Structure 1
Amino acid sequence: MQPGSTNGTSGGGIAVPMAWLCAEYTADEMLRTAALVEPDSLEFRAGRQALALTIHLCDGADPFSGASPAAQVDEWLTVTSYGHPWPQWVQGRLADRTARERHGGEDPDLALASDAWRLLRDTELLATDLTGLEPWHPSRPADVPPDEAAQVWMPAWELGLPLGHLAIHLW
């Protein structure tokens, strides 16, 4: 009988993606605590996946990584901040992990992280156009209020990433 779980280091056991599951749990708790959107909404799912992907790729779900919790949170805030090239960062980190898997061994978390990125990238959500809502945005005329009813189709990560960033701040 095979063991019910293993971190992939024992010979022939079932490889359980513990790092991904920890990252997803942490992201879920952050978003539920922040109470920014309903937990059963598509926005919540996009935020949870974007935040879990960020946490996982920062290696922040590993309590034995040696980094202090404050340093981990600072890194998550930096990576999810406005203007950071998050999609390119994700693709680069996933490519690095894929290369290590080819040379090292099976990474049970890589498949789930890659699937999360594919879904965030390929799924589009109809949401409020966020580009003109900031009062300091240079493209917004000062005397014209933003139209919050204007909606656009956007990749799920574009909605989930700001939700994740706000959830980290409120955590």
Structure 2
Amino acid sequence: MELRKILDEKIIRIGLDVKSKDDALKEMGDMLYQNGYINDTDQFIKDIYLREEEGATGIGNNVAIPHGKSKSVTKIGIAIATLKEGIEWETLDGDKVNIIFLFCVSDDMNSNRDHLVLLSRVAGKLADDDLLLKIKTAQSACDIVTYLGGE
């Protein structure tokens, strides 16, 4: 599964203006719904929070990668948002989050592998500090697709 085939400018937002984790997940869930990735925003967000109870998805460096498998998912994807201002999030380093990668994966058995492959690919890219800086300062969704899409 190639990351560039999953990335979609329609579910990427630059400078999302939210004040909390709840607001961010709701806005990003709505974005996924409006673009046909999920068929039930409330169920999707509920499933994300179920996963959040298992452990922090704030991986440090101002990045969060919330994810959860949900029956509301109709198409695999990754919603991405850079935030206007950092927000509180349970993180490994205690810092605020200003970039969110919200994984959108079905809960069926066939999607388990896809979920793990996507997490692995994104996590590998986020270990590159230069790439992370480019994402943080990106001016457009197209820029983010370009930065992340190179395998």
| TM-score, with structure 2 as normaliser | 0.28
Relative to its length, the structure with more helix (as a share) is 1
Compare the two structures and name the one with the higher strand fraction: 2
| TM-score, length-scaled by structure 1 | 0.26
